[in-house]
Amino acid sequence: MESNGDLLEFTPKELSCHTGDHVRLTFRHTGKYVSFEHNWALILPGSFDAITAAATAAGEARGWVPAGDPRMLAFTPMCGRGQVAMTEFTAPKAGDYPFICTFPGHAQSMWGVLHVLPATAGPTSAT
């Protein structure tokens, strides 16, 4: 997962996993000119407006992250251009979950969707 250079976009805009998967997400800020910081935050569906307002209220001192908010399922810390950040989490129940950058004003164009699929039945073997 990375930012799309100096544009306010994620690449790719869609990810997928299975419910219960252990997910290790590495986020790369690939910008070369823009000095804004970015992060990756997985949020509950329907919480976009509340989370973006809470992130702005959290302010720069808290890294624009409303820490402890139960609508935030996982997030990376903010990182500057050329930096890398990581988060780990267990995939929630099946559904489509938005991910955003919580830096003020970025989420309106810097968003995507994590498709969480039902858990698999386990390893299968070919016959």
d(C-alpha 8, C-alpha 71), whole Å? 23
Q: Which two tokens stand for residue 61?
A: 């001192």
Q: Which domains does the chain have, with CATH numbers?
A: 2-117 (2.60.40.420)
127: pLDDT strictly greater than 80: no
Cβ atoms of 105 and 56 within 8 Å: the answer is no
The residues, any chain, with a CB within 8 Å of residue 100's CB and separated by 6 or more, are 41, 43, 48, 51, 52, 106, 107, 110, 111
* pLDDT for position 123: 54
pLDDT band per the 50, 70, 90 thresholds, residue 122 = low
64 compared with 5, residue with greater pLDDT: 64
Q: Which two tokens stand for residue 23?
A: 């997910």
Cβ atoms of 110 and 102 within 8 Å: the answer is no
pLDDT band per the 50, 70, 90 thresholds, residue 120 = confident
Mean pLDDT of 8-37: 95
73 HSE (CA, 13 A, CB side): 21
